[in-house]
Structure 1
Amino acid sequence: MKNKITFLLSLLFGIMFINAGLNKFFNYMPVPDDLPGKMLKVMTAMMEIGWLIPLVAVAEILGGILIIIPKTRALGALIIFPVMVGIILMNTLIDTGGLPIALAFSAVLLWIIYDNRAKFLAVVRG
């Protein structure tokens, strides 16, 4: 039962990140009209750095795909982790509107990391 729940959470988590990454390339989801001024400034600044948005998009797509596959889930979690830290910081410091969702996805990511702790410990122990 635990494996099925973990797979379902990983699947939803991975699809969400794949979707977010693809949106950065194809812009198929509209930007909300009520986006706060601070968030708009941050997003504009990130777009000014030409390589940053594509880098985040590739990390989201690759990490999302790897998280869906059970054998590569730990690697996907490592790739997504810095992106998730950025999401939490943006939703904590700039605009708190998306914080509940960000915290929920952070909890899923932390569960995935905890569930794969044996793989991480093997790397640390050498």
Structure 2
Amino acid sequence: MKIVKFILCLLFALVFINAGLDKFLHYSPMPKLTPEQEKLFAAFIEIGWLMPLVGIVEIVGGVLFIFPKTRALAAIIILPVMVGIVLHNVWRDPNQTGIIISVVMFLINIWVIIDNREKYKALIS
């Protein structure tokens, strides 16, 4: 079970590291966007600090997610970005192509949070 968990967490981390790096290096091609999605992304770009912030959170969270000792922190750091990704795919993706992968990623994140719940008790007590 530890090997499966490590592999899932490593893949999860690599997806986020890749997404974060792409926000700075722009190496992935942009998918075809609907006019509504183009407006949304134009607004994100207009807010000059938003995409770099998300990119930094994705990179830092992804790197921390690799190591078991820092995985609990990474899961909390990535959670708001993950919620945004799921909500975007549910409400803004007309073809619903990204919902499955985003829900799977969200469930991995929640699993890690639940798995590390003992580490969070000091924060909420």
Bin the TM-score by the shorter chain.
Answer: over 0.9
Structure 2 letter corresponding to 1:53: M
Does residue 72 of the first structure (1) align with residue 62 of the second (2)? no
Q: Which runs of 5+ in 1 are unaligned?
A: none
Offset of residue 92 of structure 1 = 1.0
TM-score, normalized by length of structure 2? 0.94
Offset of residue 100 of structure 1 = 0.8
Q: Tell me, what secondary structure is at the counterpart of 1:108?
A: helix
Q: Which runs of 5+ in 2 are unaligned?
A: none
- Per-residue CA deviations over 1:42-93 (Å, capped at 9, x if unaligned) read 1111010000000000000000000111100011011100000110111111
Alignment of 1:1-126 (within 5 A): 2-32=1-31, 34-95=32-93, 96-125=96-125
Deviates more, 1:38-47 or 1:61-70: 38-47
TM-score, normalized by length of structure 1? 0.93
User: Hey, what's the Cα distance between the residues in 2 that align with 1:118 and 1:79?
Assistant: 17
Aligned length: 123
Structure 1 segments of 4 or more deviating over 4 A? none
Indicate the percent of aligned positions where both proteins have the same amino acid. 49
User: Hey, what's the Cα distance between the residues in 2 that align with 1:102 and 1:14?
Assistant: 14
User: Hey, what's the Cα distance between the residues in 2 that align with 1:88 and 1:124?
Assistant: 26
